[in-house]
Structure 1
Amino acid sequence: MTTRLELAGKRALITAGTKGIGHAVVERFRELGATVLTTARSQPATMPDEMFVAADLTTVEGCEATARAVNDRLGGVDIVVHVLGGSSAPAGGFAALSDAEWQKELNLNLFPAVRLDRALLPGMLAQRAGVIVHVTSIQHRMPLPESTTAYAAAKAALSTYSKSLSKEVTPQGVRVVRVCPGWVETDAAVALAQRLADDAGTDYEGGKQIIMNALGGIPLGRPAKPAEVADLIAFVASPRASAISGVEYVIDGGTVPTA
Structure 2
Amino acid sequence: MIDQQRSTAELDGKIALVTGATKGIGRAIADRLTQAGAVVISTARTKPEDMSVSQHFIAADLTKPDESTQVVNEVNQRFGGLDILVNNMGANTLPAGGFSALTDAHWQEALQVNLLAAVRLDRAFLPRMLSQKSGVIIHISSTSGLFPIWESTMAYSTAKAALNAYSKTLSNEVAPSGVRVMTVSPGLNKTEAMAAFIEQLAERTGVSTEMMTQNLFARLGGVPLGRMAEPEETAELVCFLASPRASYITGANYIVDGGNLPVV
TM score, norm. by length of structure 1: 0.94
1:134 partner amino acid: H
Match of 1:63 in 2: 68
* 1:52 aligned partner: 57
Q: 2:38 matched to 1:31?
A: no
Measure the CA separation in 2 of the matches of 1:219 and 1:20: 22
Cα offset for 1:236? Answer: 0.7
Provide the rounded CA distance (Å) in 2 between the counterparts of 1:257 and 1:124: 37
Query: Is residue 229 of structure 2 the alignment partner of residue 231 of structure 1?
Result: no
Q: Which amino acid aligns with 1:200?
A: V
Structure 1 residue 182: deviation in Å? 0.6
Q: Deviations over 1:93-146 (max 9, x none)?
A: 111111111000001000111000000000111111000000111111110101
Q: How far apart are 1:193 and its partner, in Å?
A: 4.5
> Residue 133 and residue 118 in structure 1: after superposition, are their counterparts in 2 closer, same or farther (change >3 A)?
same
CA distance in 1, matches of 2:92, 2:192: 15
More divergent stretch after superposition (75-84 vs 183-192): 183-192
Q: Deviations over 1:215-238 (max 9, x none)?
A: 221111111110000001001111
CA-CA distance at 1:213 after TM superposition: 1.4
Kindly provide the amino acid, as one letter, of the partner of residue 20 in structure 2. Answer: A
Deviation string, structure 1 residues 182-241 (Cα, Å, up to 9, x no partner): 11111222344467399535x74x553232112221111111110000001001111000
C-alpha distance in structure 2 between counterparts of 1:9 and 1:123, whole Å: 16
Report matched runs for 1:169-208 at 5 Å.
Answer: 169-193=174-198, 196=202, 199-201=206-208, 204=210, 206-208=211-213
Tell me which amino acid in the other structure corresponds to 2:14: K
The residue correspondences of 1:139-158 to structure 2 (distance < 5 A) are 139-158=144-163
State how far apart, in whole Å, the 1-side matches of 2:199 and 2:105 are. Answer: 30
2:196, 2:81 → 1: CA distance? 37
Backbone CA RMSD of aligned residues: 1.9
Cα deviation 1:157-199 (Å, max 9, x = unaligned): 1111110100000100100010011111112223444673995
8 A contact 2:40–2:55 mirrored in 1: no
- Residue 143 of structure 2 is matched in structure 1 by 138
Give the total of aligned pairs.
Answer: 257
Which stretch of the first structure deviates more once superposed, 78-87 or 182-191? Answer: 182-191
Counterpart selection for 1:14 from 15, 18, 23: 18
Alignment CA distance shift 1:117-1:224 (3 Å): same
Deviating 4+ runs (over 4 angstroms): 191-195
CA distance in structure 2 between the aligned counterparts of 1:82 and 1:188, rounded to whole angstroms: 17
Q: For 1:238 and 1:215, how far apart are their aligned partners in 2?
A: 32
